Each structure stands twice: as C-alpha cells, then as structure tokens.
Structure 1
Amino acid sequence: MVRLGLSARLVAIAGTALLAIWVTLLASYYLSNGLRSAASLPAPGQLAAIADIIRAAEPAARPRLIEAFDSAILAVRIEDGLAGSNAGLEVDVMSDARFAPYVERLGDDLLAITMLARNGERSRLPLLFGGQNNPVEFAVSIDAGDVLILETRTPFLVTPYGLPVGLGAGLMGTLFALAAVVILHRELQPLRRLAAAVDEMDPAATPVPVPDVRFSAPETRTLVEAFARLQTRLHQMLAARLALIGGIQHDVRTFATRLRLRAEQIPDEGERERAIADIGDMIQLLDNALLAGRAGVGSLDEELLEIAPIVEAEAGNDGSAMASRTLVVSGSAASAMLIGDRLALRRIVSNLVDNAVKYGQRAHVTLDVEDGWIVLIVDDEGAGIATQDRELLFEPFVRLEGSRARKTGGAGLGLAVVRNLVEAQGGRISAGDAPGGGARFTVRLPIFLAARQAL
C-alpha cells in the first residue's frame, strides 16, 4: 500500500481546498449571471429579427427559413391562429417582469408568452434534484391569421438554482471530500499524541498521560486504552521485580554474613582472605544489582545534597606514601548542590575510583562546575580504552580484559551500574582519553536550579 508522506498529504489537502474554492467561484458565477435565463431564453432582438425575416418572406420561402432557424434550443413553427390552453399545463407569464424586454421590443405583435409543461408535469413545480427548465413559448403575429411560435428548449439538466447538474455534483463531492479530510485529521490527532506518549514512556518514570479519546472512533479508543493497560502492567512488573530482588538481597546478605563468620575460622591466612574477598564481591554484586534495579524503576531517593563532601569521602587521598588517589575540587564546585540519591552518588564515585585504581594504578579525580552542570572527571594511568570499546564498556557483565579482570576481581557490573545511576538522576557519562594517556570517565549531573542561577 502506498504511504503518503507529510508533504504529499499537505499537497492533497491544499488541492482539495483549491478545488472547493474553484467550484464555489464557478457556481457563484453561474448564479450571478443567471444561467437559467441565459441558457433557455433567446434575446428579445433575436426573436424580433426572426419574426421580421419570416414576415417579409414569401409564403413559399417560409418553410426553408423555419428549417434554418429551428435548432436544439429554439423550435420555430407557424400556426393558423393562437392555440388555446392545454389542460391547464400552460401558464401565461406575459406579465412577468423578466419578460418585460420582450413585450417592449415586439410590441403589439407579441400575442402571448406561455410557460409550458415539463415532461408531462405542471409548470413551475419545484426541481428537487434537477431537470430541464420549463419551455417558454412566444407567440408573434406575422400575418393576418398566421402566428409564429418560438419555443425555447434546454438541452441540458439544471438544478433548482439554475446550475448544471454536473457542477452541483462536483460541488457536493468537494464538500464531502473536505468533510472527510477534517474528520480524518480529527481521528489522526489522538494517534499522533499516542505516538508521542509511546516515545516518552519510561518504565522507570511516572506513567505518561494518554490522549483523551472519548469522542474518537471505537478502534482508536481501543488502541489507546490497550496502551494505557500495557503501561500499567510494565510498571507493576518492574515494581514486583524490584521487590523480589530486594527480598533475595536481604536473604543472601544474611547467609553471606554467616558464611563470612565461618570463613574467618579458616586456618590458612591466604585462603581465609580470598574467601572473605569473594564473599565481599558477592555482597557488592547484590548491592549493585539492587541499586541498578531501583534506578530502573525510578525508586531512587531525592534530596538536596552538596556534592563535594560525598566525593571527598569516597575519593579523598588515602594517606599512603604513594597516594593512589588525588582529588581537586574547584571553588565553584565546593558549594555546588544537586537533587539526587546519596547512596547512588556514593556508588557512582566509588565505582569509578575503584576501577581507576584497579586497572590504572592511580585515580585522579576532579570536581568542577561547567555551564550549569556538575562535572566529575576520573582519570587513571593505565593503557586507556580503545575508541570502539568505549560504549561496550558500559554494558552489564562486560570486561575488556578477562585475565586482568580475574586477577582484580569483579563481575563487570560496576560501569553499567554507574551509567544507570547517572542517567536515572538526569545526567550522562562518557569515556575518553586522559591527558596522561590513560582512561578518562566524565560524569555530568544537573546542578540544582537555585545554585545554577547564582552561578
């Protein structure tokens, strides 16, 4: 099926509108110029000229002249005397004002002007759906006893308003087309709003309002209502899944605590440390999964926070001789505030710093404010990240270097959790190259509006 684009539809609508205007102007022209009279009645001078020519001709030549003047719109014949009325199917209209020019031009020679019956009906009956005009008969005296009869004829059908039937049909068709365009436009509006709602739908956010379709077609109402039910089911499903993950985390954390108590009884120190580290990784994995799940369904807390103390607590200098972490906070960022979840912000900073230390030996953290955004930059001194792998790195359970990941631990969820938490709070994260050749992760979070205006 051919699908018309927006431009083609606009052209079609404009063409229909122009057609309607053209037909309306044409109808107005016909009405203003008297189509009914102009099409069926000859000019008074024409009738007078025909009568004069036949009157001046010899009787033997008159049949040839009558044959010459007779046509599809004017019947000419000569009768002996003026015939009487035909069973009431004739009406004398000689006193009608529109025939005054004929009376004035033909004078006393004009004996009668009669409106005849049309198709066996009484004259002057209303034309409901269109038909031929009533024939008009002019009786003109040419000789003593001889009467010239001139009968007008209409070879085409007209409406009660004197318009050709075809023009009326075209006008009605155009009006119906315009009505169809208006109705179609009205029916498409809810579908456009529904498409916009589908684009805006986020299972992690508040359900988007659906368009009001109380007065739309049943099919449109069914579609919109089905979308509303689908949206509700998605939110309920995600909420139930989050509750399930929370319950599992609570139970597993209880078991992990018991397991850690038992692991501390392992005699071998190396085995004991590895077992405790594995248990810690397992608990961290569950915490990351639950936090990411909360971000996915929009369940993060929102409070007004200062970002600098959180970053300092998670990324401050560890005090060792060879500091593995450095932190620089600009003056404008020291008092910058934002709306966010404290636990989520701590996890963002700690995951990025831990990754930098694990894979790049050192983490260089910078906190700044730029164009209304709080900018957190974490650089490391590692080998960097290839351009084609930067987006892949934010996918769950992705580790670019398996051997190193096994040595350093982790399940490949850290950066995926960071991206989910950042985006859930209206921010964005990107990976790039650090000035020293390592990897750089840049997090941008929207600053609180009042603080943004102060800056």
Structure 2
Amino acid sequence: MVVTAAPRPAGRPPARGVMPRSLFGRSLLIVLLPLIILQLVVAYVFYARHWDTVTRWLALGLAGETALIADLIEQTPPPERAALLELARKRTGLALSFQPDTDLVEAATLAGIDERDVPATIREVFNEKVKRPFRLDLRIGQDDRVAVWVATDGGILRVLGERKRLTSTTTTLFMLWMVGVSLVLVVIAIYFLSRQVRPIRRLAEAADSFGKGRDIGDFRLEGATEIRRAGHAFNLMRQRILRFMHQRTDMLAAVSHDLRTPLTRMKLELAMMPRHQPGVADLMSDVEEMQRLIDAYLSFARGEGREVPELVDLQAVLAEMAERARRAGAFVELQPGPETRLPLRPVAIRSCLANLVDNAVRHGQRVGLSLQLGVHYVTVHVDDDGPGIPAEQRDQAFQPFNRLDPSRRRATGGVGLGLTIARDVALAHGGDIEMDNSPLGGLRVSLRLPR
C-alpha cells in the first residue's frame, strides 16, 4: 500500500495559549465555564442583594427589641427592673441581664469584645435603632450566640441571643447545595463527554494505523451523527484504497504474464541461433536488459502486495543484511543494538533494507549499519564512505528510473528503482527515507519507521 507521508506544518509554531489542546478538554471547558460564571453571578447576587437584605431585616428585629428594652429599663424604677427583665425574657426569648453603675468601656474590656468581625450592615441598623452607645460581639462562646452591651443611664444592659436572630444561617446550606449540585453536573458532563470523544479517538487511531499500513478492518460506527458520518467516510475511503491496490496488483500480475511469455520466446529463439551470427549477442543483451527492467518495474509497482504485517525484529534483519553484504565481499560494520520488534511486512522491509545496503556497498568501500530508538519512531541509518549525493540532487534520487550518473552502465548502476522501491515501502509503513551527510564521509540514508 502506498501512503504519502503527512507534511510537516510550515510557518510559525502553533500558539501556546490557555485553551486546552484536546477536544475533550475544550468541550469540558464549554460546559464548565458557563457553570462557573453562573455560580459567581448567583453568589454575587445572593451575598450583595439577598443576604444583605435578609441580614438587615433580622438586625432590625433584634436592634428594635434591644432599643425597646433599654428604653423601658430607663423608665422603670430599680426595684421593678428585675420583673421587667423577666417578662421581656419570656416574651422575646433573649437572655437579659442588667449591671448597674457599670461603664460600657470597662465592661467591653473585661468581656474581651472584638467588633472587627461585625458587618457594616448590622452596625448601621443598630446605630439607627438603638441611638445610644453599644457594643456587639458575634464571637460569644462556642454556643452559636451573639451578645449586645448597651449603655443606659443606670448601667449596662446585656442582651444575649441566638446567632440566627442576627445573621442568616442559610449561607452554608446554600453554598453546600450550590457546590454539591455543581460537582454532580461536572461528573455527568465528564461522563457524557468522554462517551462522545471516545469514538473520535478510535477514528483517529484507526486512520493512523491504516496510514502505517496496519489494516484493522472497518471502523465501528458509534457516537453522534457527525462522528458516524466521518466513520462511514473513512470506511469508504479504506475500501476504495484497498480495491485500488488489489486491482493494481491483479493487473500487474496479468501484465507480468503477458510480457514474460514473448520475452521467453525471444530468448529461446535467440538461444537457437548461432552465436557467431552478427547481432545475436547484442539482441540477447537487449532482451536480458528488458527482462531486468520489467522485473524492476513490477517490483516497484506491486509494492507490498497483500502481505500481512507481523512483528519483526529489526535488529535481527539488520544482522541478516550485514551478513548478506559480507558474503558478497563488502566491509560492513553493524552497531550493536537492542531487540526491536515492530509490526512490519517482512518481505517488503527486507527488500527495502537490501536496496539501501546494496546502494551503499555499490558506491562505497565501508558501510555502517545502526539502529536508533526514538519516542515515536525507530530510525535505521545506512552510512557509506562513497562520493555521496549533492544536497540539491537528493530529492531526484527517489524518482523512478532516475540515475544521477547517466554514464554508468546498467550492469553496475542498476535501473534507477532501488531507492524508489525502498521509499515506497517506507511510506507504506507510515515512515519515510531521508538523506544526509554520513560520519564516514559519504552518504547517510535514514529509514524512519513508526513505533
């Protein structure tokens, strides 16, 4: 299968902003951002409007009762004040006490009153209602009560009441409900978003695997309508590509049969003719050259055929290529490396590496083979100490039937399809082949394969 490599993005790199990079993160942000804004608005309205209004009305009640009791104490003779306080205690539910001949500042100092935590709304209401010196303590003991000291003509009136008489106790409950419901909504949103994003991830994995030559079958349609349409389009594209590959392979098999038959007949007729007859040797050479051209072209056009990928130890394949070149009399140095198993088409990858090693042996005296492991790719380096290829001509080297040195004889220089076939195999596996200067002084050809 011939699949072109994805072009690298050109121009400036993508901006690194605060937006999440994944679709799941962005979708979750779309759900969470309005929810957070809504909570902030509701909290502001509750605290700035509702809570302030409720607190003012509650404070008005307690401040009014306190002011009324203080006025009554000033108007009541001292012997009758105890009965007045008892009656007020029964009717208001407040704990009342009167300390005669006591200074407000002295009483506040002894009680350790700290008015820094008193809200401005409550202070304003007490100033409006009481209209006499007073002190407020909202941190009285541990029993959730508040205390008010009021200065009268005869002494200090101490009023002790429940905190709910002065401040709203629904604040904590409101916050708990708001945060709790928000967390439940977030969990529900994460659950449904993960189910919607999962088919997209599966589709991306299927497209990536198919681009690397690892056919995993049709994509199972699931998720939203748009995702199902994308999956259906992927399945159609995959079937068209496979159908094209099969048709090309079958057509070339028929072409191979049709061309080999007349070539074989021509070779037999030439073999039966006397060798000394003028032109027979040249015709025999031309027929053999045509045979090589047809074989090379069919190998290039057929590509991998219908070979099924399987786990291949790439380091072991490099060792086979090195031993093969050494048997042919070449000096090959193989760098030791770890066992690296990748899903590859064994015949195709051996043909690719054989072409690269043969080119290095043909143009150099020393050949180096090495394997480099990366995060996403495995790279095979084939180095030689030959004349190399100029940088401006390296792209031309991969073109079919392109021989950079036309003066070379085909018997020694090939037909110009070795690198083309090798790159075709690399692209079919989702990789590529690149050229660079070799540490040995010649050319470095790097085969990059996805892990």
TM-score, length of structure 1 as denominator length? 0.50
Relative to 1, partners in 2 of residues 1:438 and 1:210: Cα closer, same or farther, differing over 3 Å?
A: same
- Aligned partner of 1:105 in structure 2 is none
Cα displacement (A) at 1:413: 1.9
The change in CA–CA distance for 1:351 and 1:253 in structure 2 (over 3 A counts) is farther
Aligned pair partner of 1:316 in 314, 318, 327: 327
Q: Please tell me whether residue 289 in structure 1 is matched to residue 300 in structure 2.
A: yes
| Alignment partners' CA distance in 2, 1:405 and 1:212 | 56
- Aligned twin of 2:226: 219
* Native 8 Å contact 1:428 1:443 kept in 2: yes
Find 1:268's aligned residue among 279, 294, 307: 279
- 2:207 partner amino acid: V
Aligned mates of 1:386, 1:308 — CA distance in 2:
29
After superposition, what is the alpha-carbon deviation per residue over 1:112-131, rounded to whole angstroms, capped at 9, x for unaligned?
A: xxxxxxxxxxxxxxxxxxxx
**Structure in which a larger fraction of residues adopt helix:** 2
Matches within 5 A, 1:123-202: 187=196, 190-191=199-200, 193-202=202-211
User: Gapped runs of 5+ residues in structure 1?
Assistant: 51-99, 103-161, 163-170, 318-324, 448-455
Conservation of the 8 A alpha-carbon contact between 1:329 and 1:366? yes
Shift of 1:385: 0.7
Q: State the shift of 1:417 in Å.
A: 0.9
Question: Which residue does the alignment assign to 1:379?
Answer: 384
1:364 partner letter: R
Give the letter for the 1:202 counterpart.
G
Aligned-partner residue type, residue 327 of structure 1: F
Alpha-carbon distance in structure 1 between the residues aligned to 2:438 and 2:291: 30
Contact 2:335 2:368 (C-alpha < 8 Å) held by counterparts: no
Task: Supply the distance in 1 between the matched residues of 2:226 and 2:448 (Cα, whole angstroms).
Answer: 44
Q: CA RMSD in A?
A: 5.8
- Identical columns (%): 25
Q: Secondary structure at the match of 1:204?
A: coil
Residue-pair matches, total: 323
Q: Which amino acid aligns with 1:254?
A: T
Which structure 2 residues correspond to residues 33-432 of structure 1 after superposition, within 5 A?
43=61, 187=196, 190-191=199-200, 193-202=202-211, 204-207=213-216, 210=219, 213=222, 216-264=223-271, 265=273, 267-289=278-300, 292-294=303-305, 299=308, 307-314=318-325, 316-317=327-328, 325-330=329-334, 343-344=347-348, 347-348=351-352, 350-352=354-356, 354-356=358-360, 360=363, 362-367=364-369, 377=382, 379=384, 381=386, 383-402=387-406, 404=408, 410-421=414-425, 429-432=433-436
Say if 1:299 and 1:11 are closer, same or farther in 2 by CA, change over 3 A. Answer: closer
Higher relative CO (Cα under 8 Å, sequence separation at least 6) belongs to: 2
TM-score, normalised on structure 2?
A: 0.50
Answer with 1 or 2: which has the greater Rg: 1
> For residue 88 of structure 2, what is the aligned residue in structure 1?
none
Contact 1:428–1:444 (Cα < 8 Å) also in 2:
yes
Change (3 A) 1:371 1:224: closer
8 Å Cα contact 1:393-1:415 kept in structure 2: yes
Q: Is the 8 A contact 1:363 1:380 kept in 2?
A: yes
Contact kept in structure 2, 1:397 and 1:411, CA below 8 Å: yes
In the aligned structure 2, how far is the partner of 1:330 from the partner of 1:203?
27
SS across alignment from 2:285: helix
